């Protein structure tokens, strides 16, 4: 059977919150089997500091994904860290944070993958449970659309379109085999547009944003001195966000996700629609020798090579 995984040892880091601008310390600790991903606000000591990382605990999706508990305690910008857990197959971990936001690091999931690899990954003596998509579920919101369809393994398609020529139209199709997430997605950074910065900061957002942790676009130009990490870094980061948001399902998905010009709000609405229809999904355990096992490198063989298309 495919077994659950956690960290071999604890590890910590510090950085700024993308939206709060505050300095934050975060510690990742091993979790017990079947406990999932749990956030612990260590700056709160009255017993209301635990927030399970689940889709039904999402309380806000404005510019990031924010989780909250019944006591009103929240933790924001969890999607990049959740993407790292998903990409490397971590099932159980305790995330201690001394503030209301996960540190943004360099704006991608790569620093979190590095932390996890430094801590080490160990298997646990419990089977890993997957969520199999049994029928198509779609959420539409104007020109934004997200869909889950049945499939053996986990794969994603994404399309975006912006007026800026620096972004324009981009699409990607990716099957999550072997190190696809690490090599093709994890280093893609969050991005924003210079003309939106003042409005975001007036709304209390992006206070910690800088060229050190985001790709910034001004008109048709990239302001970062080192340019882009991928020619299509923008759509790759949208995939990264989707991977993190979808991992709030509580288990890995077996199916294909498709997104068109969508974001955190639509990702969460998609999970809510999926779980609202009990005929649309089921839990399943996979044997480690299965052809559809995410550990075998045989997922979605037809999409295992990254296909990037310029949609101009």
pLDDT in tens, 43-78: 998 888 999 999 999 999 998 999 999 999 999 999
Q: Is the predicted pLDDT of residue 301 greater than 80, yes or no? A: no
Q: Which of 257, 226, 224, 218 is nearest to 241 (CA)?
A: 257
Enumerate the active-site residues: 264
Q: How many CA atoms lie within 13 A of 34 on its CB side?
A: 3
pLDDT of 193 strictly over 60: yes
Give the whole-angstrom CA distance, residue 167 versus residue 174: 19
Dihedral in degrees, nearest 10, Cα atoms 139, 303, 179, 92: 30
**Angle value at C-alpha 170, between 168 and 175, nearest 5 degrees:** 165
pLDDT tens column, 79-110: 999 999 999 999 999 999 999 999 999 999 99
- Exposure of 97 in the CB half-sphere (CA atoms within 13 A): 28
Superfamily for the 3-128 domain? lpxc deacetylase, domain 1 (3.30.230.20)
130-310 belongs to which CATH class?
A: alpha beta
Alpha-carbon dihedral angle through residues 86, 90, 93, 99, given to the nearest 10 degrees:
-30
Give residue for tokens 């020619």.
231
Domain ranges of the chain: 3-128, 130-310
Q: How many helices (H) and strands (E) does the chain have?
A: 6, 21
Judge whether 294 and 153 are in contact, CB under 8 Å: yes
Among candidate residues 147, 138, 50, the one with its CA nearest the CA of residue 94: 50
Q: How far apart are CA 175 and CA 301, in angstroms?
A: 7
């Amino acid at each position: 059977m495919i077994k659950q995984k956690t960290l071999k040892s604890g590890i910590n880091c510090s950085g700024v919150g993308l939206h709060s601008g505050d300095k934050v310390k975060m510690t990742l600790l091993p979790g017990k089997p079947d406990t999932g991903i749990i956030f612990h606000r260590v700056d709160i000591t009255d017993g209301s500091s635990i927030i399970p990382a689940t889709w039904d605990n999402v309380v806000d999706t404005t510019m990031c994904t924010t989780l909250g508990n019944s006591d009103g305690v929240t933790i924001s910008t969890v999607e990049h860290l959740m993407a790292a857990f998903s990409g490397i197959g971590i099932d159980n971990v305790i995330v201690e944070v001394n503030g209301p936001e996960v540190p943004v690091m360099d704006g991608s999931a790569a620093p979190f993958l590095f932390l996890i690899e430094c801590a080490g990954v160990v298997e646990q003596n419990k089977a890993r449970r997957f969520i199999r998509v049994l029928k198509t579920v779609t959420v539409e919101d104007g020109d934004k659309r997200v869909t889950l369809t049945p499939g053996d393994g986990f794969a994603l398609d994404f399309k975006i379109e912006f007026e800026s020529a620096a972004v324009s139209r981009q699409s990607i199709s990716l099957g999550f085999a072997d190190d696809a997430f690490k090599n093709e997605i994890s280093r893609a950074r969050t991005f924003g547009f210079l003309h939106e910065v003042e409005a975001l900061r007036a709304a209390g957002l992006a206070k910690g944003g800088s060229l050190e942790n985001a790709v910034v676009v001004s008109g048709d130009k990239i302001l970062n001195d080192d340019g882009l990490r991928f020619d299509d870094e923008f759509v790759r980061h949208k995939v990264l966000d989707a991977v993190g948001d979808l991992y709030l399902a509580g288990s890995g998905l077996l199916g294909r996700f498709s997104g068109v010009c969508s974001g955190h709000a639509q990702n969460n609405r998609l999970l809510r629609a999926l779980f609202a229809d009990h005929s649309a999904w089921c839990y399943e355990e996979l044997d480690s020798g299965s052809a559809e096992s995410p550990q075998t490198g045989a997922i979605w063989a037809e999409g295992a090579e990254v296909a990037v298309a310029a949609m101009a």
